[in-house]
Amino acid sequence: MTQAEAAPAWRTTRWFNAPAPLALADLRGRVVVVCAFQMLCPGCVSQGLPQAQRVAQTFRPEDVAVIGLHTVFEHHAAMTPTSLEAFLHEYRITFPVGVDEPDGDGLPKTMRAYDMQGTPTTLLIDREGRLRRHAFGHLSDLQLGAEIMALIGERPQPLTSIGAGAGSVCISKG
Amino acid sequence: MTQAEAAPAWRTTRWFNAPAPLALADLRGRVVVVCAFQMLCPGCVSQGLPQAQRVAQTFRPEDVAVIGLHTVFEHHAAMTPTSLEAFLHEYRITFPVGVDEPDGDGLPKTMRAYDMQGTPTTLLIDREGRLRRHAFGHLSDLQLGAEIMALIGERPQPLTSIGAGAGSVCISKG
Amino acid sequence: MTQAEAAPAWRTTRWFNAPAPLALADLRGRVVVVCAFQMLCPGCVSQGLPQAQRVAQTFRPEDVAVIGLHTVFEHHAAMTPTSLEAFLHEYRITFPVGVDEPDGDGLPKTMRAYDMQGTPTTLLIDREGRLRRHAFGHLSDLQLGAEIMALIGERPQPLTSIGAGAGSVCISKG
Amino acid sequence: MTQAEAAPAWRTTRWFNAPAPLALADLRGRVVVVCAFQMLCPGCVSQGLPQAQRVAQTFRPEDVAVIGLHTVFEHHAAMTPTSLEAFLHEYRITFPVGVDEPDGDGLPKTMRAYDMQGTPTTLLIDREGRLRRHAFGHLSDLQLGAEIMALIGERPQPLTSIGAGAGSVCISKG
């Protein structure tokens, strides 16, 4: 694997359900499951987020980190952090959720860095911080469970093996 | 039936999916199905509103009017009309939706007038404007379909039979 | 309404969940909801029969009689009364179920008399024994609840008004 | 791992969806997912069998073999091979299904050999023929997908490592 496959760093402005902002690098060593969503996206509410909650309940936290990313690319005034906070409370979402950094009226910065096509999008990032799966839309639970376990089963390599430059990939793609 | 059973008038500040504000009195002669909801109430999103949409698709508009009422009683800053408008667009809700008039941080005015306990709440109002059913929580489709049809089947009586004072009930309870 | 619309009598060989064979005429005065099914028909198991159970739980027995009719038109050796009895026990179906009288390898007799196209089929028969609805496939609960209630609301007329010849219609069509 | 953990051989009288009887030993090298079911068990029809079909559609046949096992322990006269054959056709089940060998009116032989408590039961057998999971009732798709993938990821060891005596375990327990 090459450096180009390292997952871009996140660009976030705020976090919920986390004591401090979370960087992807902080999660090195664990498999990371990112659920990119918008609180007013029906498919996110009915499928993507419940699936992410099931993932968080099924796997051990030391193996898998589930992260929500609020990637608002439409109706910006309707999906503010104030609305998101109430949404997370009402839907009892307890995993950490970061707010993707807005970039005017267009795609927010992390969404653009990952070249996401819409929401919900599921990302799987391996123990060494490499993006291994990028799925727009629905993934079945069987498929997702299998893919997560395949990554859990990989033996982590020394951290030096992928270098520290992951973030720069984000900039070059953005 | 007595005047006391007339459904209170609605107190609303704004309407969506309607060319002009809708008063209950405007719907006299039709059965009115009111779905009182909050856009961040999970049970409203997964059950109450989809059921109201099914009602709107099943019955003839000349027999049944389906009305949404946004009765925000918590997280007021998170469920503004701006957020509601985007929500209605994303969830493709096409029946008229009124915003219940806020009353500070507590229950909005129509919600209080009807003594609602929470959301979702379903109200059935007969052809003569009388409140015939008030259900908090889930009503099965079979039960709801039967109750609506029972009201459709009632022969409307002359309008004079219930008087014009329905709205005053709301004020006295409010 | 004319005599031609009277529902044909049933031709059955055996009954379950009933102390004695049930004739349609025995149910005069009540709305009759017939669920024609085969125990190995997936749509009957997942939709038709659960819906019939919901009907039996929703309406009062004095208003509505729910009847199952096992109309086997394929895999005859696989869906014997012995298998049906175990099926009804395992699926906890408690309303009366009649076995439609076989006619060789083809359509059983009641199925042919009603000109059914397959299973599941729902029949609605009014308080006076007239066939008012014949639906092959899925009926939504809202629609079905409304149609049943419309028939409940009809004032029964004197029995003499439709004559005693309902069964003869079955013979002429068969 | 020891020989004691080898999965007992199956005792079957008939196979559907297979050109010839299938022995567990024939599947050595692949992960085997066994769905033990009864055709009149509601939980098997609504959950166990559809899940097995999803497994068959999700994983590659060279990695995973999905096998149905008809373990009739009640209503024997109602669930004959004749009825089963029609059931499999109507439910479009295309993976191989073996009929567990009856043992009078009690538990059939394979069911007893595996000490199953009822249906549906899911068994996971690894590439080397060892029983690795025995679950009575519901397993979530996420969990099952993960467990299957964990077994897929195991490097098969030489066949000689577990010996040929797996079948004898069955006999000694039976």
ipTM for the whole complex:
0.85
- Average pLDDT (D146-157) is 88
- Average pLDDT (A98-105) is 94
The residue in chain A having the minimum alpha-carbon distance to the alpha carbon of residue D148 is A146
**Is D127:D156 a contact under the CB 8 Å cutoff?**
yes
Residues D145 and A147: their CA atoms lie apart, in Å, by 8
Low-confidence ranges of chain B (pLDDT < 70): 1-4, 156-174
Residue contact B42–A82, C-beta within 8 A: no
Looking only at the bridges linking them, the beta strands covering B121-125 and B131-136 are antiparallel
CA A105, A110, A113, A115 dihedral sign is negative
CB pairs under 8 A between C and D: 49
Residues of C with CB under 8 A from a CB of D: 40-42, 45-46, 74-75, 77-80, 82-83, 85-87, 89-91
The residue in chain B having the minimum alpha-carbon distance to the alpha carbon of residue C60 is B143
Give all strands of the β-sheet with B97-100 in edge-to-edge order: B12-16, B97-100, B64-70, B31-37, B121-125, B131-136
- Nearest alpha carbon to residue C137 among C44, C71, C68: C44
CB pairs under 8 A between A and B: 49
> Out of D143, D148, D149, whose CB is closest to A58?
D143
User: What kind and span of H or E run contains B49?
Assistant: helix B49-58
Looking only at the bridges linking them, the beta strands covering B31-37 and B97-100 are unpaired
In chain B, the N- to C-terminal Cα span, in Å, equals 22
Residue contact B145–C149, C-beta within 8 A: yes
More confident of the two residues D161 and D170: D161
Residue contact B149–C144, C-beta within 8 A: no
What six digits make up the tokens of C58?
């929703």
User: What kind and span of H or E run contains A146?
Assistant: helix A141-152
Q: Is the link from the previous residue into A61 a cis peptide, with omega within 30 of 0?
A: no
pLDDT at D156: 63
Residues B69 and C164: their CA atoms lie apart, in Å, by 52
Residues of B with CB under 8 A from a CB of A: 40-42, 45-46, 74-75, 77-80, 82-83, 85-87, 89-91
**Is C165:C2 a contact under the CB 8 Å cutoff?**
no
C33-60 tens-digit pLDDT: 999 999 999 999 999 999 999 999 999 9
pLDDT at D172: 20
Looking only at the bridges linking them, the beta strands covering C31-37 and C121-125 are antiparallel
**Averaged pLDDT of chain C:** 89
Q: In which band, very low, low, confident or very high, does the pLDDT at D5 lie, cut at 50, 70 and 90?
A: confident
- Average pLDDT (C4-12) is 88
A38-56 tens-digit pLDDT: 999 999 999 999 999 999 9
DSSP secondary structure string, chain D? --GGGBPPPP-EEEEESSSS---GGGGTTSEEEEEEE-TT-HHIIIIIHHHHHHHHHHS-TTTEEEEEEE---S-GGGS-HHHHHHHHHHTT--S-EEEEPPBTBS--HHHHHTT--SSSEEEEE-TTSBEEEEEES---HHHHHHHHHHHHTSPPPPGGGG-STHHHHHHHH-
B103 φ/ψ angles, rounded to the nearest 5 degrees? -135, 70
DSSP secondary structure string, D113-143? HTT--SSSEEEEE-TTSBEEEEEES---HHH
D9-43 tens-digit pLDDT: 999 999 999 999 999 999 999 999 999 999 999 99
CB pairs under 8 A between A and D: 56
Residues A107 and D4: their CA atoms lie apart, in Å, by 58
Residues A161 and D130: their CA atoms lie apart, in Å, by 36
- Nearest alpha carbon to residue B62 among B97, B27, B95: B27
pLDDT at A3: 42
Q: Of C37, C38, C83, C85, which to mutate for an interface test with D (greatest number of D Cβ within 10 Å)?
A: C83
Q: Does residue D166 register a pLDDT over 70?
A: no
Q: Of B59, B63, B133, B142, which to mutate for an interface test with C (greatest number of C Cβ within 10 Å)?
A: B142
The residue in chain C having the minimum alpha-carbon distance to the alpha carbon of residue D85 is C78
pLDDT at A155: 74
Residues A135 and C148: their CA atoms lie apart, in Å, by 46
pLDDT at B156: 61
Residues D154 and D142: their CA atoms lie apart, in Å, by 19
Q: Is the link from the previous residue into C96 a cis peptide, with omega within 30 of 0?
A: no
Residue contact B146–C145, C-beta within 8 A: yes
What six digits make up the tokens of C139?
């009926």
Residues A71 and A38: their CA atoms lie apart, in Å, by 6
Q: Does residue D2 register a pLDDT over 90?
A: no
Q: Does residue C165 register a pLDDT over 80?
A: no
Residues D101 and D29: their CA atoms lie apart, in Å, by 25
Q: Is the link from the previous residue into D120 a cis peptide, with omega within 30 of 0?
A: yes
Chain A nearest CA to B120, separation (Å): 14
- Average pLDDT (C49-77) is 97
Q: Which residues of chain A does D59 touch, with a Cβ-Cβ cutoff of 8 Å?
A: 146
- Average pLDDT (D161-168) is 31
pLDDT at C104: 86
CA C72, C74, C76, C81 dihedral sign is negative
pLDDT at C156: 63
**Is B39:B80 a contact under the CB 8 Å cutoff?**
no
What does DSSP assign to residue C166? H
Q: Which residues of chain B does C59 touch, with a Cβ-Cβ cutoff of 8 Å?
A: 146
The residue in chain C having the minimum alpha-carbon distance to the alpha carbon of residue B155 is C153
Question: Structure pTM?
Answer: 0.87
Chain A nearest CA to B27, separation (Å): 31
A107-164 tens-digit pLDDT: 999 999 999 999 999 999 999 999 999 999 999 999 999 999 999 999 765 444 333 3
Residue contact C149–B144, C-beta within 8 A: no
- On the 0-12 / 13-18 / 19+ scale of CB atoms within 10 A, D62 is exposed
- Nearest alpha carbon to residue D114 among D105, D104, D124: D124
D62-120 tens-digit pLDDT: 999 999 999 999 999 999 999 999 999 999 999 999 999 999 888 999 999 999 999 99
Length of chain D: 174
Percent of chain A whose predicted confidence (pLDDT) is above 70: 87
Q: Of D54, D133, D149, D155, which to mutate for an interface test with A (greatest number of A Cβ within 10 Å)?
A: D149
